[in-house]
Amino acid sequence: MKKIRVGIVGGAGYTAGELLRILVFHPFVEIVFVHSKSNAGKFIYEVHDDLLGDTDLLFSSEYHTDIDVVFLCVSHGEAKNIVDIFKHTKIIDLSHDHRLKYPSHQFVYGLPELQKDVIRQAQYIANPGCFATAIQLALLPLAEKQLLKGNIQAFCTTGSTGAGQSLSETSHFSWRQNNLSVYKAFTHQHLGEIRQSVHQLQNTYEEEIQIIPQRGAFTRGIMACLTMNLKLAFEEIQNIYTHKYQDEPFVWISERNIHLKQVINTNKCLLYIEKHENNLLITSIIDNLLKGASGQAVQNMNLMFGLDETTGLKLKSTAF
């Protein structure tokens, strides 16, 4: 197969670093350029030092359009200003800019477990947010069966890489270590895309989805704990989830309680279901930089180019 010619814009951040870690070893990819205004001319391994010995690519100050696909790893609000430069190629946008539908919208929402066939035919992909991915994968089987009722609470704890590389008080080691705090309660920016996907499957659901995000004292991973009221028997709920994800290579239903180290460094989402009388708890865990960002972006690229979606993504967790 002819190599897929890839470009990356915004090459110095965490998501670009993880993209590079995957794509350098992807059997069907040729990385043509990695753009970074602040690092142009430097070797990529000078910024992403985990790639020392794996690539001699330099950061570019120029965009190249003679490519098959470009990954936009830029800040929210910046991607929409770059799209026209690459309008004749395939685009995978990892920012928030194109996740919500609006008139003349040409981007397809890139959650493979929601609309894989549409992604295969797409020219432009809006890669989902990390919280949105963890929460949606926990909710979609019930939404598909029209079973969501009442308010849903999602208590989510994320690692410091979820805040990006820009330094702030709450990402500083001495503040974050041995600490825990809530931020953006009820107002997190991923709520819109979650409701959009739920309505795609269950358009009658009008209750609240309440997200309470927390900053965890670790670097990567998201644990989302969703609670709701549901009278359905536990065995029937378990069967709904098992059937929904039986052919999905990255989503697994665990019969035992789960922990973050099971998914770190992988493109997996693990789900664990508990029932206490009519109270349902669904725990969902992902690596925010992989299934929540760069791994899912590569999964989308694989689908867009007719590859097995697991290509380059068969990664083992760092469980110890």
Long-range contacts of residues 85-93, Cβ cutoff 8 Å, at least 24 apart: 86/7, 89/65, 90/122, 90/123, 90/124, 90/125, 90/301, 90/304, 91/123, 91/124, 91/125, 92/125, 92/127, 92/297, 92/300, 92/301, 92/304, 93/124, 93/125, 93/126, 93/127
Active site residues: 130
Give the pairing type, strands 269-276 and 279-286.
antiparallel
> How far is the C-alpha of 269 from the C-alpha of 55, rounded, in Å?
29
107/83 Cα distance (integer angstroms): 11
Q: Per residue in 211-243, is it b (16+ CB within 10 Å) or e — as a string?
A: bbbebbebebbbbbbbbbebeeeeeebeebbee
- Pairwise CA distance, residues 71 & 125, whole Å: 10
DSSP 16-79: HHHHHHHHTT-TTEEEEEEE-TTTTTSBHHHHSGGGTTT---BEESS---SSSEEEE-PPTTTG
Backbone phi, psi, residue 275, to 5°:
-135, 130
Whole-number Cα distances in Å, 118 to 97, 112, 311: 19, 9, 19
